[in-house]
Chains A and B, each alone.
Chain A
């Protein structure tokens, strides 16, 4: 928390993290454990018009994976497939392939979507705390699981808020409304709410796009800390953000996965022409 400003200055430069990034890259490629396998997935909102085309990728445990690409390229759609939020849209669904999380096909009829979402949490683009107190916001996920012991909730709320870097700012006013916080604080409250149910994976759908630069920096810092405990998939419009927070980056274009690789490689030496055009700002 104290090192935000200095970190921020380092990270504000456009260059990808030069020195430490390759270390991860080489260190333990074999030791990396795949938690999400996307296997030749096609997806359609309206049957007959696939918006994701033959996507295959592996997402590794303990890493931050960024999805980038121009608007409408399908990156958010894929993200929402990973915890089946797309189930809310009638008729939408996978038309081909399967997605395995922790080895299980999540679209299998025996998979309970409620249980899946407890393992795969989500942070949304527009911060959306409930109009409840800060405490109740964080405790919500536990309460719906039937946890009502005050001591358990107290502890979960404190540890989640600490993990989300919000504890020191709100510990004296846990009973005041979550909507009274600033935008960046509200988004961190949403992150705390998500980690309170202890998911394995956190999906973030452009979590900073509604925030100011300073709040963005705080959240980015938070993401890099959270990856020690969670696997994070983040959709972002901001390419610098991808370079700052992610270990791997996947570039989508028109529903196809053009390229996925270690972030430094994507941004310095992409193997696809289209990727280079996008990251160099020629379109998008």
Chain B
């Protein structure tokens, strides 16, 4: 070992590697600091959002005593929260339904000061259910249409300027603001799309009699989960189509050639030698896109969502008693899909911006946001996890 003293300066004129371009070196350092700052800024924002929501949301969702989870928050729909003080000086806080019960049970209690806080009581069961239904409809429609489009574009259509312009048009859909999709959905799915009905509504644009008392009426589906799901699907289609096309492109040409050379038809080739291997990729990428759309407020605002709804969508679906089972099931299905729903993003918007704020609204706000964030993150993580798994499994 040589005994080199690092803390001693090199003798003047003896270091051929001393810094000469001082300015350049300083600029280098500045740039690296600036780039790092941008990155850490984003990281700080993300961490702040997560931390704030988590710290304030956890006390709403979890409890300190058994069973540790606030099940009421998940099983009840939003209600008005009542806070009041009795003459005896006791303060109470309860949901509106309990409050009515309380007043009935003890009519002799004098309430001196009471406040109502809209949407701050109960839980988020209604919005959760609504978002789940909207997302399921959206996934079904978007995957079906997106898959069909992607297969057509990638496997059937001959390449050319026309197809390029179609693809460009689809990709441009991704740039359309979500509020525009909301208005489109309102105009098209809620008010225009033709339905078969026995009595056309007054708003119907055109009702073509089909005979037998039924009409082909351009009156739309009304504000309902079907319209909302379709609107969300249209909005997410560019992402789904791109994901599906990407997955199809990743399948080696050799599979198609080998299948065709064995005397398979084009559809046999696609369905047996391409789709089975492309499907996992399509599914996971689409789920990732759909988690994003689940959080959209604007498209469902006009088409599907209500701020408040007492009944869950499957309650109170009208059916005609006495008709046969299939007819009743069909009627129930149609009636069910025609229900409007509450939805998480719209609920969050309502509790955050549309009601008078007080300390009692905070738990509902943070609880909703926390649960929704965890849900969306779980799905996103799941799709990424699935993708990694399938990538490993399907290698060629």
Contacts of A122 in B (CB 8 A): 257, 261
- Cβ 8 A contact of B263, one of A85, A88, A118: A118
Contact with A along B262-295 (1 / 0, CB 8 A): 1111001000110001000000000000000000
- Cβ 8 A contact of A85, one of B261, B264, B273, B395: B261
Tell me whether A194 and B260 are in contact in the complex, defined as CB-CB below 8 angstroms, given that A128-B255, A179-B395 are known contacts: no
Contacts of B252 in A (CB 8 A): 128
Tell me whether A117 and B258 are in contact in the complex, defined as CB-CB below 8 angstroms, given that A131-B394, A179-B396 are known contacts: no
Check A124–B258 contact: CB distance below 8 A.
Answer: yes
Check B258–A190 contact: CB distance below 8 A.
Answer: yes
Q: Is B6 on the interface with A (CB-CB < 8 A)?
A: no
Check A124–B260 contact: CB distance below 8 A.
Answer: no
CB distance from B124 to the nearest CB of A (A): 43
Contacts of B273 in A (CB 8 A): 130, 140
Q: Is A115 on the interface with B (CB-CB < 8 A)?
A: yes
Q: Which residues of A (70-101) have their CB < 8 Å from a CB of B? A: 83, 85, 88, 90
Tell me whether A117 and B268 are in contact in the complex, defined as CB-CB below 8 angstroms, given that A90-B159, A126-B254, A179-B395 are known contacts: no
Interface size class of B (residues with CB under 8 A): 20 to 34
CB distance from B372 to the nearest CB of A (A): 38
Closest to B260 in A: A117
In the bound assembly, the distance between CA atoms of A283 and B235 in angstroms comes to: 59
Check B262–A194 contact: CB distance below 8 A.
Answer: yes
Closest to A193 in B: B262
In the bound assembly, the distance between CA atoms of A190 and B273 in angstroms comes to: 14
Contacts of A31 in B (CB 8 A): none
Check A115–B263 contact: CB distance below 8 A.
Answer: yes
Q: Which residues of B (137-170) have their CB < 8 Å from a CB of A? A: 158-159
Contacts of B261 in A (CB 8 A): 83, 85, 117, 121-122, 124, 194
In the bound assembly, the distance between CA atoms of A145 and B268 in angstroms comes to: 10
In the bound assembly, the distance between CA atoms of A234 and B350 in angstroms comes to: 72
Contact with A along B353-377 (1 / 0, CB 8 A): 0000000000000000000000000
Contacts of A190 in B (CB 8 A): 258
Q: Is B259 on the interface with A (CB-CB < 8 A)?
A: yes
Contacts of A85 in B (CB 8 A): 257, 260-261
Check B262–A128 contact: CB distance below 8 A.
Answer: no
Q: Which residues of B (13-66) have their CB < 8 Å from a CB of A? A: none
CB distance from B181 to the nearest CB of A (A): 35
Closest to B158 in A: A90
Q: Is A156 on the interface with B (CB-CB < 8 A)?
A: no
In the bound assembly, the distance between CA atoms of A197 and B158 in angstroms comes to: 30
CB distance from A176 to the nearest CB of B (A): 14
Tell me whether A114 and B263 are in contact in the complex, defined as CB-CB below 8 angstroms, given that A90-B158, A128-B252 are known contacts: yes
In the bound assembly, the distance between CA atoms of A194 and B261 in angstroms comes to: 8
CB distance from B110 to the nearest CB of A (A): 77
Contacts of B272 in A (CB 8 A): 140, 143-144
Q: Is A183 on the interface with B (CB-CB < 8 A)?
A: no
Check A117–B263 contact: CB distance below 8 A.
Answer: yes
In the bound assembly, the distance between CA atoms of A215 and B392 in angstroms comes to: 27
Tell me whether A128 and B258 are in contact in the complex, defined as CB-CB below 8 angstroms, given that A140-B272, A144-B268, A144-B272 are known contacts: yes
Tell me whether A88 and B257 are in contact in the complex, defined as CB-CB below 8 angstroms, given that A131-B396, A144-B268, A179-B395 are known contacts: yes
Check B257–A124 contact: CB distance below 8 A.
Answer: yes
In the bound assembly, the distance between CA atoms of A130 and B394 in angstroms comes to: 10
Given A143-B272, A144-B263, A144-B272, 7 new contacts (CB under 8 A) = A88-B257, A124-B257, A128-B258, A130-B255, A131-B396, A179-B395, A197-B263
Residues of A within 8 A of B (CB): 83, 85, 88, 90, 114-115, 117-118, 121-122, 124, 126, 128-131, 140-141, 143-145, 179, 190, 193-194, 197
